A and B are shown apart, each in its own frame.
Chain A
Amino acid sequence: MASSCMGIGGEGSAPAAPHVLAVDDSSVDRAVITGILRSSKFRVTAVDSAKRALELLGSVCGLTEPQIISRFRNFRFLCCIACAITYSCIGLQGANVSMIITDYWMPDMTGYELLKKVKESSKLREIPVVIMSSENVPTRINRCLEEGAEDFLLKPVRRSDVSRLCSRVLP
């Protein structure tokens, strides 16, 4: 379903500014990272959980057949399909997220778990994932980098951290 919409708003008509998905359960930190990214002229979508991030990334497309069938009766899932189709048609599909920047410590699903899900998905694994944390824990940092994180930023994140990172990671 989504692939038939890819021609509209897909790679051929790529948007001017890279689109960054920011994930943080703190409203203060979401506002700060959004401000930092916007001042560097990125388009930003900020969400408050890893679950919402995966929905936005169109992980619907990454689900296996049994998973899709088992969720079919779930009304919310139908809304996700509707959203995914809409998003892909207006170019907000997973393919159009250039980078994910996520907090490490979140309730329900951590940034590390989100990182793993992204890297396990054939559709999403190419998207660079950056982890942010207020705690400097070397084992945690190594674990994230080993799992494929592009970088690990210590909070509070500064504009210089982000612009250095983006010039390296984004086109």
Chain B
Amino acid sequence: MDYSNLRRQIIFMKKSFFDQGYLDEQFNQLEELQDESSPNFVEEVVALFLKDSPRLLINIEQAIEKYPQDFYRLDSLVHQLKGSASSIGAVRMKNECSVLKAHGNDKNLEGCRRSLQKMKREHATLKQKLESYFQLLRQVGPRNSAVNSRK
């Protein structure tokens, strides 16, 4: 199998995530923690994020759509989502959380709704991109993958 071609694809893909602002330095920090004893660390952490975040998004929507709106709970939920997005380096999602938080603090319902819709799109895009990325990584395997190297 032509690993060099795959490795090139992986490098370009990752670079595009950074160039387009989907990921920031924190993602690199996570990759640096990968080693022989935890070769799939980043994928595992991202999997935890992708498992938790849909539930948070649903709860955020409920907090916005119920009447009367629960802005206090909204703030707490957005804070949680922002925290975990930030921990995996998902900078677009993190920034959109800040926007949503601000709308919530202003009790701007329409702003909250717009921001939530944007957040859902960002989440779907991020999920698709990261899943493709990890799929490629798996094809290359931990020993052959340049990006997993801790050299």
Contact = CB atoms under 8 A, between A and B. Distances in A.
Nearest to A105: B79
Interface string A10-36: 000000000000000011110110011
A119 interface: no
Contacts of A158: 29
Contacts of B89: 156
B70 to A, nearest CB: 15
A167 B33 CA distance: 18
Contacts of A159: 29, 32-33
A28 B29 contact: no
B65 to A, nearest CB: 22
Given A35-B45, A134-B82, A29 B30 contact: no
B26 interface: yes
B33 A26 contact: no
B49 interface: yes
A38 interface: yes
Contacts of A105: 79
Given A35-B30, A35-B38, A134-B82, A28 B44 contact: no
B80 interface: yes
A71 interface: no
A156 B88 CA distance: 8
Nearest to A157: B87
A52 interface: no
A39 interface: yes
B110 interface: no
B141 interface: no
A105 B52 CA distance: 18
B interface SS class = helix
Interface in A67-87: none
A32 B83 contact: no
Contacts of A156: 26, 29, 86-87, 89
Contacts of A143: none
A27 B47 CA distance: 10
B106 interface: no
A36 B79 CA distance: 22
Given A32-B45, A39-B33, A26 B80 contact: yes
Interface of B: 26, 29-30, 32-33, 35, 37-38, 41, 44-45, 48-49, 51-52, 79-80, 82-84, 86-89
23 contacts: A26-B80, A26-B87, A27-B48, A28-B45, A28-B49, A28-B88, A29-B84, A29-B87, A31-B44, A32-B45, A32-B88, A35-B33, A36-B33, A38-B38, A39-B33, A39-B35, A134-B79, A155-B86, A156-B89, A158-B29, A159-B29, A159-B32, A159-B33
Nearest 9 interchain pairs by C-beta = A28-B84, A35-B33, A31-B45, A156-B87, A156-B26, A27-B48, A28-B48, A134-B83, A39-B33
